[in-house]
Amino acid sequence: MLPEVIASFIVGVFLFVYAILGAIDFGSSFWSMYYLRRHTEAGVIANRFLSPTWEVTNTFLVLLVVSFVSFFPKAAFTLGTVLLVPVSIVLILISLRSAFMVFAYSVQSYQQTLRIISGIAGFFIPILLISALPVTQGPFIGIKNGVETLLTTKWLTSASTYYYMLFGLTSELFLSSLFLADYAKEAGKEETYRVYRKKAIIVGPVTLVSAILTLLVLEPEAKWLLDNLFDQVEWFVLSILFYLIGYSSLWWPDARSDSTGKPRVAVLLIVVQYMIASYAYASAHMPYIVYPYMTITTGFTGEVTFRALFWVYVVGLAVLVPGFYLFWRLFLKDRRYLRQEE
Amino acid sequence: MDQTTITRAFFGTSLAFHIIFATLAVGISFMILVSEIIYQRTKDKDYELMAKRWTKAFAILLGVGIPSGTIVGVQLTLLWPGFMKIVGQVISIPFQIEIFAFFLEALFMSIYVYAADRLSGKMRVLSVFFVSVGATASATLITSANTWMNTPAGFDMYADGTIKNVNTWAAFFNPSYGWAAFHVAISAFMAGAFAIASVSAYRYLKTPTQERKVLAFHRKSLFVSLVVGFVMSAITALSGHGSAQGLYEHSPEKLAAAEGLFKTQRYAPLSIGGYTDPTTHEVKYDIEIPYALSILAGNWPSTEVKGLYEFPEETWPPFYVHTLFNIMVGIGMLLLALSFIALAYWWFFHHKKQRAFPNWLVWILVASGPLAMLGIEFGWIFSCSGRQPWTIYGFQRTSEAATKAAHVGNLFVLFGFLYLLLSVLVVAVMRIYFKRNPLAKELAKRGDGHVT
């Protein structure tokens, strides 16, 4: 396999991991705000998950950016220039959210205000992040004075952009409510589980519809992508199949307790669904990183650096795996942490 | 202002803001490790509480340090796309390893903070050790990219800008890397120690004399931080000397600008203070120490030191780097002297004659933390201004690296407000938290405190 294909696969995996973790992370922030007064325990559960994990999730964002710049520095040049303003706004929101979340944990008395601000920021971040995707399809980039520039008005008035945003929003809410349903069940909070299960049941179908709309409603300049997407149709069918089974598992009987639904199965199957769909989408996008300006070949770093980077990844991940395992055991598995009373 | 200047001012502000939190993260995590180890050895519960309270402060600082680090990391690509285009081809390795160090820090930080009550003593020390290792490694790895900008290595560049013959590891371990990385890590330990010394000294002065347990606590933390501060400032001076000799060998133009030296000469004098006059090309109102520069640069008075006339005038660094360099070195020396005097006083009057620390000395110690931080800021500004007009010395000018996109100025204003807001908030949160959880209360909760 060509090194640039391996590199794009690695970056793609990081992008996928961050998209899923980020959706759960920012979504939990939103639910923690949403249930602040309505259902305190649901808010507490969301917060208990967030406190130790947001830092690690945030690190994945930096990992994604650094690996993209390292493997595709020339493509980073183009995207960095085009996306200066939108990415800067996302950075400001991320900073406010992280800071306010930490402050809320430290200063209990202002917790409500701080949680509301970080919840609102968390709500908007995924929407803004995903709105960068249609930019890479080409229709919103023009050349001004020899510099590639974002056509802001066209970008912000295009229906396609808003379908992407809608898809980002629904995915965020769907994935996070599913995850928190499972997390609540693991913690033995039956009532909270039902609260999040209900939300997942409502948001689930909306997510699927918005995903299909997002793929079909594209700018005329992005017709190349649509043609390629039709070549991947069997993958999308498979992904919908996983969605249907995953969604239905929210009604499967659970032998251990008297409640309905197997949230763990649902989370896993839905993540697999996203994985298949993302793979199909990415394949259709190939070989372009930014259409038609950058492909994975023209944006690539070069073989020597690639090889060194590759081994750094192998060693680095091998060193970190025990750390991740310990982390998972302490915060996602340990009943003493999950079931503590406030 | 032109685009390049605005971009420099913008990114400089982001870095100056982030460096405060990054340095404190490295320094304070090291201090937490020290107090955890002392606690495990002596079983004196004051040190356990110290580690706990410092961790609280550390966690609040991270609330700004992590987002500001994310900002700097992403802004590199946003504001300097031309620079990152070359970085990505030549020296992405340290950035990449730095991410893993960052992961290590983030993972074990969460474990140390949120699972402390479920960890054994040894596991606690081990987690905070990993936090400290992660933070320090991040700092030294990122320094590699910086020293590579000063002394580029590991690639060839053709006239059309294409890069060939990349040797990633030669770029990583570029000529000025070793001393500089050492200097950065140790000076961060120093700054962390003096930050703690500042707070301890201030609290010590503000505690009424009848609260003896509280006083004893502050005295202990002041002593620990002074010892660490003294040792680290001594090593900082040593590594700074190594870095300066590195300048002599690999970046003579920068050294010449730092010293305001124009004519190449043997028996070069060291010039302290004053300013470089741009018209007469000499340093005015300074103190000259004969031969000292030659001795410092090459260990011998007859060492020849290159002056600025050796280089084309259009690539001279700005003359104010002489002042930046002086302030950095001056603060370092001052801190070394201050901590030495304090410890000597401690030994002769406190330890031997049981006499209390005089208030004037403690008041001076209150200033040590902010001073250390200023020293570090000036050091970084010196390192980066002294390289101008280059981003990658001899290869890429800053104007070629800067973004060509619009709205940089507007974003600068926006981020300026963000940094201001976060600074105000982090101070407010610190104050509120430690007011709600005063030391006396936590000592009392432990069961042996003296409450008035």
Three-state DSSP string of chain B: CCHHHHHHHHHHHHHHHHHHHHHHHHHHHHHHHHHHHHHHHHCCHHHHHHHHHHHHHHHHHHHHHHHHHHHHHHHHHHHCHHHHHHHHHHCCHHHHHHHHHHHHHHHHHHHHHHCHHHCCHHHHHHHHHHHHHHHHHHHHHHHHHHHHHHCCCCCEECCCCCEECCCHHHHHCCCCHHHHHHHHHHHHHHHHHHHHHHHHHHHHHHCCCCCHHHHHHHHHHHHHHHHHHHHHHHHHHHHHHHHHHHHHHHCHHHHHHHHCCCCCECCCCEEECCEEECCCCEEECCEEECCHHHHHHHCCCCCCECCHHHCCHHHCCCCCHHHHHHHHHHHHHHHHHHHHHHHHHHHHHHHCCCCCCCHHHHHHHHCHHHHHHHHHHHHHHHHHHCCCCEEECCCEEHHHHCCCCCCHHHHHHHHHHHHHHHHHHHHHHHHHHHHHCCHHHHHHHHCCCCCC
Give the per-residue pLDDT at B437: 82
Q: Is A82 exposed, middle or buried (0-12, 13-18, 19+ CB in 10 A)?
A: buried
Instruction: Return residues 209-268 of A near B (CB < 8 Å).
Output: none
Q: How confident is the model at residue B418 (pLDDT cuts 50, 70, 90)?
A: very high
Q: Does A142 touch chain B (CB under 8 A)?
A: no
Structural domain spans, chain A? 3-338
Give the per-residue pLDDT at B452: 38
Q: Above 60 in pLDDT, residue B275?
A: yes
Q: Does A96 touch chain B (CB under 8 A)?
A: yes
Q: How confident is the model at residue B258 (pLDDT cuts 50, 70, 90)?
A: confident
> Alpha-carbon distance B379 to B398, whole Å?
20
Q: Does A310 touch chain B (CB under 8 A)?
A: no
- Asked if the Cβ–Cβ distance from A92 to B403 is below 8 Å, we say no
Q: Residue type at B338?
A: L
Mutate one of A64, A98, A331 to test the B interface: name it (highest B CB count within 10 A).
A98
> Alpha-carbon distance B306 to B323, whole Å?
19
Task: With beta carbons less than 8 A apart as the criterion, state whether B183 and B243 touch.
Answer: yes
Cα-Cα-Cα-Cα dihedral sign, residues B90, B96, B97, B99: positive
pLDDT digits 0-9 by tens, A67-109:
888 888 888 888 888 888 888 888 898 888 888 888 877 777 7
Mutate one of B70, B75, B91 to test the A interface: name it (highest A CB count within 10 A).
B70
Q: Above 80 in pLDDT, residue B284?
A: no
Q: Above 70 in pLDDT, residue B428?
A: yes
Give the per-residue pLDDT at B449: 43
> Residue A340, Cβ neighbours under 10 Å: how many?
12
Give the per-residue pLDDT at A177: 92
Give the per-residue pLDDT at B450: 44
Which of B256 and B231 is assigned the larger pLDDT? B231
- Asked if the Cβ–Cβ distance from B110 to A53 is below 8 Å, we say yes
Tokens for A43? Answer: 């808010």
Task: With beta carbons less than 8 A apart as the criterion, state whether B271 and B286 touch.
Answer: yes
SS3 of A132, please?
Answer: coil
Taking CA–CA distances from A81, the nearest residue in chain B reads B405
Q: State the average pLDDT over residues B220-232.
A: 91
Task: With beta carbons less than 8 A apart as the criterion, state whether B120 and A335 touch.
Answer: no
Taking CA–CA distances from B123, the nearest residue in chain A reads A326
Q: How confident is the model at residue B197 (pLDDT cuts 50, 70, 90)?
A: very high
Q: How confident is the model at residue B355 (pLDDT cuts 50, 70, 90)?
A: low
Give the per-residue pLDDT at B451: 42
What residues of A are in contact with residue B114 (Cβ under 8 Å)?
51-52, 330-331, 337
> Alpha-carbon distance A67 to A150, whole Å?
23
- Asked if the Cβ–Cβ distance from A147 to B405 is below 8 Å, we say yes
Task: List phi, psi (to 5°) of B311.
Answer: -120, 150
Taking CA–CA distances from B407, the nearest residue in chain A reads A85
Give the per-residue pLDDT at B448: 54
User: Residue A88 is nearest to which of B78, B167, B432, comparing CB atoms?
Assistant: B78
- Which value does ipTM take for this structure? 0.83
What residues of A are in contact with residue B66 (Cβ under 8 Å)?
55, 58, 98
A208 vs chain B: nearest CA distance in angstroms? 32
pLDDT digits 0-9 by tens, B429-450:
888 888 888 888 878 877 654 4
Low-confidence ranges of chain A (pLDDT < 70): 257, 341-342
> Alpha-carbon distance B117 to A333, whole Å?
16
Instruction: Return residues 132-171 of B near A (CB < 8 Å).
Output: 163, 166-169
Buried b (16+ CB within 10 A) or exposed e, B264-290: eeebbbbbbebebeeeeeebeebeeee
Contacts of B188 (CB under 8 A, 6+ apart): B22, B23, B26, B27, B30, B136, B139, B376
Taking CA–CA distances from A111, the nearest residue in chain B reads B429
Tell me the residue length of chain A: 342
- Asked if the Cβ–Cβ distance from B88 to A305 is below 8 Å, we say yes
What residues of A are in contact with residue B109 (Cβ under 8 Å)?
55
B214 vs chain A: nearest CA distance in angstroms? 23
Give the per-residue pLDDT at A257: 67
> Alpha-carbon distance B79 to B404, whole Å?
9
Instruction: Return residues 413-432 of B near A (CB < 8 Å).
Output: 414-415, 418, 422, 425-426, 429, 432
Q: State the average pLDDT over residues B396-421.
A: 87
Mutate one of A70, A144, A314, A327 to test the B interface: name it (highest B CB count within 10 A).
A70
User: Residue A55 is nearest to which of B109, B130, B168, comparing CB atoms?
Assistant: B109
> Alpha-carbon distance B104 to B95, whole Å?
14
> Alpha-carbon distance A76 to A79, whole Å?
5
- Asked if the Cβ–Cβ distance from A330 to B111 is below 8 Å, we say yes
